[in-house]
C-alpha cells in the first residue's frame, strides 16, 4: 500500500501534544504541591499523581482496545482530542478556585482520555503506512511520545516557576499553565483535522465483560508467544521508565530543596533523556533501511544496564551524569523501537488494538508497581538516591538476562 505521510504526521503531532499536556500537567501539579502542602504530603501527592496516570490503563484497557477496533480510529482519536481540551479547561477552573483535590480528580480523567487515545493511535500506524514503512512510523512515534513526556515535564515545571513568580501566587501560576495547555489542545484538534485511517476492523458487539476481560487478553498474548515476549519487554521498559521518572523528581528535590527550581531541574534531566531517545530512534530508522532491527534489542538492553550503573555511581550533577542520561536515552530507543514495531506488525488485523491494549495493561500494572516501589524506597525506607538507582540497575540487569536467554522467541 502507498503510505499516507500527511495523515501520519497529523497523528504524530496530535499524539505528541497529548503526552506533552499530560506530563506538563503532572509536573505543574508536582511543583505546586510543596508550595501549598507540607513536605511529607507533597511526596505522597507525587506518588498519587504517578499512580493516577496509569490507573485507567489498568482498569479500562480491554474496553479501550475494543473501542479502537470496533469504530474507525480517526473518530476515536478526534473525540478524544476534544475531550482533552474540555478537561484542561476544568483543571484551570479547579486551580483558580484553590482546589487541589478537584485538580487531582480532573487529572485522573485526563489519564482516562490518554487510555482511550493510546490503542487507537498505535493501531492506526499500520493502517496509514503499511508493513514496509512501519519501523519508520513506530520510530517517530516512540521518540516523539517519550520526548513529549520529558519535554512536557520540563515545560510544565518551567512555566509554573515563571508564572508563580509573575503572579506571586502559586495557585494562579498553576491556573495560568492550564490556560496555555488548553489552547494547545484546541490547536491539536485543528492539526489532526481530516487525518484518514481504515474503517472499523471488528464487528464484535459491546459486552459488559469488557470491564473484566483483562486477564483473557493477557492469556491471548501468552498463547501467542511471538507476541508475548515483545509485549513483556515493552511492559518492563515502561515500568522501569516510570521508576526513573520518579527518581528524577527526587533528584530535583535533592539538589534544590524547598525551591520551585526543583521541578525545572527534574524536567531538564528528563529532557536530556528525551534527546537521547530521539537520537536513538533516528539511528534505528536509518539501520532499518539495510537490515532487520530486532537484533538491536540485546544491544539496547546492555547499553541501558551500563548507563544505569553509571547513574548509580555518579553524583547527580555535572557533565558525566548528563552524558549518562543521554546514553540511557539512546540505548532505550535501540531496545523499545524494534519491539514495538514487531508487536504491531505481527498482531492480527482485527485484534491489533486489543493486543496493544493488553500490552498497555501489562506495562501499567508494572507502572503501579514502580510507584509502590518508589514510595517504599523514599517515604518508608528513606533510601538515598544511589540506592534507588541501584534498584533500577538491578531491574535492567534482569531484563538483559531474559533478552539473551529468550532472544530466539523474541525474534532477535
Asked if residue 232 has pLDDT above 90, the reply is no
* Cα three-residue angle 153-156-157, rounded to 5 degrees: 85
pLDDT digits (tens, 9 = 90+) for 243-254: 787 788 778 777
pLDDT, mean of residues 231-260: 78
Unique residue bearing C-alpha cell 513483556: 232
Q: How confident is the model at residue 152 (pLDDT cuts 50, 70, 90)?
A: confident
pLDDT, mean of residues 186-212: 77
Query: Of 91, 76, 77, nearest to 22 (Cα)?
Result: 91
- Enter the C-alpha cell of residue 308: 544505569
DSSP state of 295: T
Model pLDDT, residue 159 = 86
Q: How confident is the model at residue 372 (pLDDT cuts 50, 70, 90)?
A: confident
- Max mean pLDDT among 4-13, 55-64, 218-227, 286-295 falls in 4-13
For the chain, what is the mean pLDDT? 81
Burial of residue 105 (CB within 10 Å: 0-12, 13-18, 19+) is: middle
Looking at the chain, how many residues does it have? 412
- Decide: 69 and 126 in contact? Cβ < 8 Å: no
- State how far the Cα of 102 lies from the Cα of 150, in Å rounded to an integer: 25
pLDDT, mean of residues 357-382: 74
Predicted TM-score of the model (pTM): 0.72
- State how far the Cα of 64 lies from the Cα of 66, in Å rounded to an integer: 5
Q: How confident is the model at residue 58 (pLDDT cuts 50, 70, 90)?
A: confident
Percent of the chain residues past pLDDT 70, beyond the cut:
87
pLDDT digits (tens, 9 = 90+) for 310-347: 888 888 888 998 999 999 999 988 988 888 888 888 77
- Decide: 124 and 263 in contact? Cβ < 8 Å: no
What are the residue ranges spanned by the domains of the chain? Answer: 5-193+216-410
- State how far the Cα of 285 lies from the Cα of 133, in Å rounded to an integer: 10
Report whether CATH 3.90.78.10 matches the domain 5-193+216-410. Answer: no
pLDDT, mean of residues 112-132: 84
- Torsion angle (degrees, nearest 10) of CA 68, 73, 77, 79: -90
Category of 377 on φ-ψ map: left (φ > 0), alpha (ψ -120 to 50) or beta = alpha
- State how far the Cα of 323 lies from the Cα of 273, in Å rounded to an integer: 9
Model pLDDT, residue 410 = 58
Asked if residue 370 has pLDDT above 60, the reply is yes
Query: Of 348, 368, 347, 365, nearest to 232 (Cα)?
Result: 365
pLDDT, mean of residues 168-190: 88
- Max mean pLDDT among 70-84, 158-172, 205-219 falls in 70-84
- State how far the Cα of 388 lies from the Cα of 254, in Å rounded to an integer: 13
- pLDDT higher at 290 or 232: 232
Amino acid at each position: 500500500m502507498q503510505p499516507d505521510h500527511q495523515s501520519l504526521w497529523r497523528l504524530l503531532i496530535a499524539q505528541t501534544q497529548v503526552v506533552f499536556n499530560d506530563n506538563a500537567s503532572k509536573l505543574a501539579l508536582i511543583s505546586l504541591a510543596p508550595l501549598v502542602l507540607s513536605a511529607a504530603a507533597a511526596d505522597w501527592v507525587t506518588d498519587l499523581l504517578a499512580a493516577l496516570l496509569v490507573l485507567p490503563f489498568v482498569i479500562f484497557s480491554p474496553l479501550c482496545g475494543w473501542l479502537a477496533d470496533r469504530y474507525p480510529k480517526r473518530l476515536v482519536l478526534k473525540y478524544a482530542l476534544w475531550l482533552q481540551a474540555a478537561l484542561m479547561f476544568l483543571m484551570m477552573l479547579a486551580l483558580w478556585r484553590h482546589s487541589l483535590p478537584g485538580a487531582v480528580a480532573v487529572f485522573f480523567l485526563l489519564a482516562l482520555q490518554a487510555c482511550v487515545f493510546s490503542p487507537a493511535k498505535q493501531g492506526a500506524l499500520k493502517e496509514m503506512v503499511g508493513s514496509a514503512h512501519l519501523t519508520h512510523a513506530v520510530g517517530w512515534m516512540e521518540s516523539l511520545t517519550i520526548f513529549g513526556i520529558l519535554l512536557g515535564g520540563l515545560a510544565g515545571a518551567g512555566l509554573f516557576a515563571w508564572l508563580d513568580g509573575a503572579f506571586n501566587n502559586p495557585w494562579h501560576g498553576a491556573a495560568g499553565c492550564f490556560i496555555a495547555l488548553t489552547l494547545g489542545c484546541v490547536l491539536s484538534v485543528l492539526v489532526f483535522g481530516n487525518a484518514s485511517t481504515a474503517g472499523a476492523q471488528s464487528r464484535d458487539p459491546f459486552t459488559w465483560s469488557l470491564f473484566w476481560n483483562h486477564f483473557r487478553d493477557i492469556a491471548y498474548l501468552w498463547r501467542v508467544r511471538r507476541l508475548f515476549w515483545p509485549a513483556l519487554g515493552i511492559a518492563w521498559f515502561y515500568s522501569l521508565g516510570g521508576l526513573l521518572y520518579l527518581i528524577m523528581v527526587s533528584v530535583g528535590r535533592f539538589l534544590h530543596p524547598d525551591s520551585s527550581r526543583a521541578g525545572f531541574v527534574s524536567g531538564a534531566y528528563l529532557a536530556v533523556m528525551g534527546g537521547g531517545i530521539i537520537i536513538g530512534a533516528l539511528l534505528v530508522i536509518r539501520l532499518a533501511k539495510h537490515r532487520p532491527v530486532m537484533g538491536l534489542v540485546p544491544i539496547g538492553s546492555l547499553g541501558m544496564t551500563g548507563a544505569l550503573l553509571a547513574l548509580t555511581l555518579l553524583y547527580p550533577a555535572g557533565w558525566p551524569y548528563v552524558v549518562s542520561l543521554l546514553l540511557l536515552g539512546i540505548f532505550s530507543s535501540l531496545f523499545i523501537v524494534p519491539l514495538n514495531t514487531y508487536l504491531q506488525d505481527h498482531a492480527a488485523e482485527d485484534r491489533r488494538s486489543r493486543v496493544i491494549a493488553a500490552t498497555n495493561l501489562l506495562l501499567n500494572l508494572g507502572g503501579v508497581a514502580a510507584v509502590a516501589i518508589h514510595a517504599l524506597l523514599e517515604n518508608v525506607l528513606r533510601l538515598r538516591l544511589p540506592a534507588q538507582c541501584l534498584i533500577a540497575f538491578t531491574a535492567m540487569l534482569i531484563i538483559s538476562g531474559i533478552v539473551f536467554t529468550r532472544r530466539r522467541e523474541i525474534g532477535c
